[in-house]
Amino acid sequence: MTDYLVLEEVNGEATLLGKLVFNSKRIISYNERQNELSEEISGINQLQQEINDLEKLTTSPLFIQKKYWSEAEVRIDSYKGELLRLLENWSATSMLPIQESNDSLPLEINGKADLKKIGTFTANTASPDDYSNYASRIYLTITDLVKQNINNTRIALENANNELISLETYRKTREEIVDTEIHRNLSNDDQGIEEGGLIDRITEKRRRMNNLLQKQRELIAITTELENFAKERMELLIHFHTIWEEIRSARRDIVAIIDSESASNIKAELIENADREQYQLLLNNIAEGLTSATNRIHNKEAQLEIIVANTTPDQLINIVKEGNANHLIKLAPEVTPNTSRIILSIGPVDIHRLEQCILGDKFVISYKKEGEIEFTSIDSGLSGGEQALALISVAMVSKKLPLVIDQPEDELGPALITHELVEQIRNVKSVRQLIFVTHVPNIPVLADSEQIVYIEQEFTPSGKASVIKCSGSLDQNDIVAHLLELDGGDIAFLKRSDRYSAVIRASKEN
């Protein structure tokens, strides 16, 4: 009764269960990434403190100068690297992308690759920013010329690169002057600070901090998404269980109708939450992933059956979330502590699978045999005929659609037909269209059929065909004649009448 729940997609569209499964996959994936990020940024506060402590040592003007010279080195090196790349590929320079920069050239470049037109630069007095800006002008000037496909491109590139090499030499000299001044002003206790590369250490820690801050922003975004997914899942689960309750309510209504409108010796019941097959299969599957050769459930099949018989999926979920082994043992006393321990290790993926698992209902039809008080379920203790009669009785419960029953005599004996089936037909035929296909004349005759259609099979050039020979009511002689023929003919009927009449007269006299 739960087959519809296994469909995650119908006609290319996700079902409600499909949406739940997809939601689960997203939650699990985001949870994994959340845990990774949380672990990665766990040292962010300590790193920030380390940066703060190091930066306290760099507040003097000399350290600030040192920082600027280091930044200038980075810029010059980046331009040198780009020019070297252009030199290696100078034959195709017009096709190469040029590094973007916000720097603007101070002079308008016209004509040849003459670096003197870039402007004046005095290495001994220029500031770190002057070094950076001059390197930018060299780089942008030459790349602009290269882009214009100026003649002597290779020479221009080499000149520019040599200029940058010279610029770096001057920069390094100026930085060494600052280093010397720093060492001269440091106390003996602080001599190791700069020797350990203070600026480099700060730069590296800031780089790490920027990376962690980016991950922290990602963590915040993922946490927000997880909250949304959790809310979505709650809404989907409410909808899921609402639909299931609507289905169950409809089943209750159907059972009530069957119970009230079928024959008095027929009873219908809906045993709710009785079908635990899907729950059992799911728990077996989950247990496979929890156990191993060294961590196993002893007598696993019996232990899991006890859990399934004594808990619902929701109860098991709460037990796992609480980590309460005693609660499980209380509900299912025969479960061992070892089994409880393993079951409590169920993870989030399987929790979601349990959330999507429902307990099915069992629809039971029972039949009361003649002379008995108790009803017997049709799947135990009834003959084939009694089972068939009970099912036919249920099928004939009032509905708008016509009901067609093909040859009920194949399953029902003569006594069941004449004593029970015919009576049921009489009770139902006034409110529902019943159509029987039969070779037994007692069914239409004793049930007072309104319309009888007599059909024979004939062989035609195209094969067998069913041909209507006549139709009408029991008032028509030709209809009665065909029924009589089905009953063995007039001779057989008269002979039976002769044989049975004495018994009938005697029973009436008594």
Backbone conformation region of residue 299, classed left if phi is above 0, alpha if psi is from -120 to 50, else beta: left
pLDDT score for 1: 35
Token match 């135990």: residue?
A: 380
**In the structure, what pLDDT confidence band is assigned to residue 302 with cuts at 50, 70 and 90?**
very high
CA 438-439-445 angle, to 5 degrees, is 80
Q: How far is CA 423 from the centre of its chain?
A: 53
The CA dihedral of 221, 226, 227, 233, to the nearest 10 degrees, is 150
pLDDT number for residue 106: 35
Q: Is the dihedral of CA 434, 436, 442, 444 positive or negative?
A: positive
pLDDT in tens, 341-357: 999 999 999 999 999 99
Domain boundaries, the chain: 3-40+204-252, 51-196, 277-358, 383-392+399-509
- What phi and psi, each to the nearest 5 degrees, are found at residue 263? -60, 155
Q: Tens digit of pLDDT for each residue in 222-263?
A: 999 999 999 999 999 999 999 999 999 999 998 998 888 888
pLDDT value, residue 99:
44
Is 364:377 a contact under the CB 8 Å cutoff?
A: yes
CA dist., res. 410 & res. 420, Å (int) = 15
Residues facing residue 228 across a β-bridge: none
Beta pairing partners, 464: 459
Condensed to tens digits (0 to 9), the pLDDT of residues 112-135 reads: 445 555 677 788 888 888 888 888
| pLDDT value of position 107 | 31
The reported pTM is: 0.59
Residue 96: band (very low, low, confident or very high) from pLDDT cuts 50, 70, 90: very low
| Per-residue model confidence (pLDDT) at position 270 | 92
CATH annotation of 383-392+399-509:
3.40.50.300
pLDDT digits (tens, 9 = 90+) for 471-498: 999 889 888 888 888 888 888 888 888 8
pLDDT tens-digit readout, 396-433: 887 778 989 999 888 888 888 888 888 888 888 888 89
DSSP 447: T
Q: How high does pLDDT run on average in the chain?
A: 82
182/292: higher pLDDT = 292
CA angle 251, 257, 263 (to 5 degrees): 130
